[in-house]
A and B are shown apart, each in its own frame.
Chain A
Amino acid sequence: MSVSFFGQARTVASRDLLRERRSGEVAWVTLPFGAVALLLVPIAIGTDAPTLRAVGIGMFWVVVMLFGVLVSVRRTGADSQSQKDMVSLTGIDPAASFVGSAWASSLLLIVFEVILGLLTIALYDIRIVGWAWVPLILILVAVGLGLLGTLAGGIVSTDRSAAALVPLIVAPMSVPLLIAATQAFEGLRLGHSILTWILMLVVVVLVLAIAGVLSARPLQETG
């Protein structure tokens, strides 16, 4: 019995989330690491409250971008050839596999953002203006970063030594997400319209989704 594209994607996403639940890598390693990074900044730049309030949102997004890379590429270098063969032989469409992996990464990144966000608000004494927009921004950034990390993992492909290259590719490529996210929050703080930045996030997400789906099958050729 054949399985639909989104059925296959859902199976891949479920697998990734179950593996995360068992290994706890994001919950017990990446998340605390991100929290430590937020703690180190005031130690380095000073604990002056107005300064921390001014840098807090920016620091949050930098930590999300840099450590979020670890969330979305956590499997790139870890899966063995045998594991990849096993998945290939189920006949899963590589494009569905991309969507499923990105989906799982996005969900984990949303949790990552929410927990670190609450921590940032507490540590840096941030006052959020325009709460209604916050979930949309968090979701768009999480989806964008999930797509970017999964795509970068596919581009760098199967060579484990090359997997170290993925953060170098993802970090600078995440700049449009970083700019849009920080400027959106700045706009909310100043009472300006943030539709431009929301649109930028949507465009980045769409470009990455289309690029990932279209390149999934050709990239399997290079593995």
Chain B
Amino acid sequence: MPNATTIVSLAGAAVRAGAVSILRDVDFTVTEGESVGLFGTNGAGKTTLLRLIATLTRPSAGTGSVFGVDLSSPDRFIVRPRIGYIGHTPGWYPELTLMENLTFVAHAMGIEDALAISSLESVGLGGAIDRRVDRCSHGMKRRAEFARILMTKPDLLLLDEPHSALDADAIDLVDDLVARTVKRGGAAVLVSHDHARVEAVVDRTYEIAEGTLR
């Protein structure tokens, strides 16, 4: 794509946790309209890379930027509303309902409550909007995360093992969300162990091994 805007740019990025290196010398670029798949064994650093791009982790070395904002900047929080990140574990408050959790996100981002309701309905949770999260199954919590993505319409989608815990009805949600984001001019990065499913939807793939991308 000619002159496509760079959304993610990492150069020599490294992440350490104490004495242990997780990522080392990572060069990675994603431009608008692209979707990328990341594979690797357990502990390879896939989740850490995703968290780094999501600005949730600082690089220990190297440089990186997302939407032009330096990943080491204390002001990097301003870019987060443009990022839709779904991690391993849903981050909902268990004592609040699905609706209350989603409206917290909506109010923090200046989004109408009505959109929260319609998003939950779109992912098939319309009948459970008033159910407390600690009474929802893992799959329901996962679907609610996709409702959050639908509601916030991020320009960069970061999905960590997105197909896990989803039933046959919901599994196509992942492909739909990736397609919508890319079509809007955004980008998507998917981490998965399911090579076949991910390779069918992304433009290119990488393997993470020994802390770096191949």
Contact = CB atoms under 8 A, between A and B. Distances in A.
30 contacts: A3-B107, A3-B109, A7-B107, A7-B110, A11-B104, A12-B108, A14-B104, A15-B93, A18-B100, A19-B93, A19-B96, A23-B95, A80-B89, A81-B89, A82-B91, A83-B92, A86-B91, A86-B105, A88-B55, A88-B56, A89-B56, A89-B80, A90-B81, A90-B105, A90-B109, A91-B77, A91-B80, A93-B77, A217-B74, A220-B74
Contacts of B132: 22
A8 B93 CA distance: 18
B105 A91 contact: no
A89 B100 CA distance: 17
A92 B81 CA distance: 9
A84 interface: yes
B90 interface: yes
Interface in A1-22: 1-3, 7-8, 11-12, 14-15, 18-19, 22
Interface string A73-98: 00000001111111111111110000
Contacts of A93: 77
Given A91-B80, A220-B77, A11 B92 contact: no
B91 A1 contact: no
Interface string B100-123: 100011011111000000000000
A218 interface: yes
Contacts of B178: none
A99 to B, nearest CB: 13
A22 B78 CA distance: 31
Given A3-B110, A22-B95, A80-B91, A15 B104 contact: yes
A221 to B, nearest CB: 6
Contact of A88 (B80, B90, B92, B100): B80
Contacts of B80: 88-91
A125 B83 CA distance: 58
Contacts of A82: 87-91
B71 to A, nearest CB: 11
B58 interface: yes
A11 B108 contact: yes
A90 B78 CA distance: 9
Given A85-B91, A221-B74, A90 B96 contact: no
